Amino acid sequence: MIQCRVAVAARKGGVGKTTIACGVASVLAKQGRQVLVIDLDPQSNAAYALGVDPTAPGTAELLMGNAPDPLEAASGLAVLPGGPNLTGQSVQSLHPEDLADLVKVMPYDAVVLDCPPGNESLERLGLVAAQATLVVTNAHPFAIIGANRVMGLLESYRSRERRGPKQWALILSQVDERRSLDKELPAQLVQRYSDIKHFTVHQDTNLSQAGAQQIPLMDYAPRSRSAAELTTIAQWITETVHD
Ligand SMILES: Nc1ncnc2c1ncn2[C@@H]1O[C@H](COP(=O)(O)OP(=O)(O)OP(=O)(O)O)[C@@H](O)[C@H]1O
Ligand SMILES: [Mg+2]
């Protein structure tokens, strides 16, 4: 079995990483895969958004050598919650490949790693464990700077033939074409990163409501525009990832 592992990262906070991670995981599970979401965020938002106990033992305990049971959010969709233990010294001082080693042998067809904002050591654990990365930005210049930093790191791993993603795509998130920055963004980014695959996820209340109501997207709004956009991204992941 080829296990497909994708990280979702941005460096910047609040740009839609968790929303996209949970949405893509929901799509992959609805397609019949056994999917694990690994929440690498001390905020544990992915666990909350998918409707499982965000305070249960999860990713931190896995990294500390225990065997926490992933929590079932929906059929085929399991979650290892994040939580404040991820900021402890024992996790922060791990080798970047430690999570990769643990995840690779887990019995899931697809693993989605939701990286936190601002914490580079946790982000690195997620990136190195993945074969592909969704680098998320919205139209704000600070977010574009954050995405650029993540892509710079990925490029440095790839050029030095280090373990980690060989492919990445840029996700233009929270796009609302009525806003002038959002109208200009896609063309600018396509020009600047012409060699990188792009996807757009529009601003959509179905996405914020699914998270707030703690229902996976494909159970909440399977026929929404967001569901279609995330299905396109999920398809790229499954077609692109090779072990
Ligand atoms: N495309 C979208 N349409 C509508 N609301 C969105 C969209 N993407 C994200 N949101 C909302 O924006 C907020 C931030 O999203 P989210 O938590 O996914 O971002 P994040 O990058 O994971 O944040 P953090 O850096 O704190 O982990 C949430 O309230 C979420 O519901
Ligand atoms: Mg998040």
Full domain range(s) for residue 139: 4-237
Per-residue pLDDT reduced to its tens digit, 166-178:
999 999 999 998 9
Per-residue pLDDT at 189: 84
Protein residues with CB under 6 Å of any ligand 1 atom: 10, 13-19, 41, 43, 45, 116-117, 173-174, 201, 203-204, 207-208, 211
- Residues near ion ligand 2 (Cβ under 5 Å): 17-18, 45
**What is the band of 185 on the pLDDT scale with cuts at 50, 70, 90?**
confident
Per-residue pLDDT at 1: 63
Q: Is residue 231 part of a domain?
A: yes
What's the total number of domains in the chain?
1
Does the predicted model carry a pTM greater than 0.95? yes
Q: What are phi and psi of 169, to 5 degrees?
A: -130, 150
Q: Is residue 242 part of a domain?
A: no
Q: Is residue 212 part of a domain?
A: yes
Res 214 pLDDT > 80:
yes
**What is the band of 243 on the pLDDT scale with cuts at 50, 70, 90?**
low
CA–CA gap between residue 25 and residue 50 (Å, rounded): 10
In the chain, how long is the greatest CA-to-CA distance? 49
Q: Is residue 243 part of a domain?
A: no
Q: Which residues contact 124 (CB under 8 A, 6 or more apart)?
A: 96, 153
Per-residue pLDDT at 180: 87
What is the residue-averaged pLDDT of the chain?
A: 95
Per-residue pLDDT reduced to its tens digit, 46-76:
999 999 999 999 999 999 999 999 999 999 9
Q: Is residue 52 part of a domain?
A: yes
Among the bound ligands, the one closest to the CA of 15: 1
Distance 69 CA to ligand 2 centre (A): 22
Distance 15 CA to ligand 2 centre (A): 8
Q: Is residue 214 part of a domain?
A: yes
Per-residue pLDDT at 21: 98
**What is the band of 242 on the pLDDT scale with cuts at 50, 70, 90?**
low
Strand partners, 201: 173
Among the bound ligands, the one closest to the CA of 10: 1
Per-residue pLDDT reduced to its tens digit, 82-135:
999 999 999 999 999 999 999 999 999 999 999 999 999 999 999 999 999 999
CA–CA gap between residue 236 and residue 130 (Å, rounded): 14
CA–CA gap between residue 19 and residue 4 (Å, rounded): 19
pLDDT mean over 40-50: 98
Per-residue pLDDT at 71: 98
Distance set, CA 211 to CA 23, 46, 163 (Å) = 9, 9, 32
The CATH code of the domain that includes 84 is 3.40.50.300
Residue of 12, 18, 41, 204 with the most ligand 1 atoms within 8 Å of its CB, for mutation: 18
Taking CA atoms only, the protein residue closest to ligand 1 atom 28 is: 208
Q: Is 2 left (phi over 0), alpha (psi -120 to 50) or beta?
A: beta
Q: Is residue 223 part of a domain?
A: yes
Share of the chain above pLDDT 90, in %: 87
Taking CA atoms only, the protein residue closest to ligand 1 atom 6 is: 208
Among the bound ligands, the one closest to the CA of 11: 1
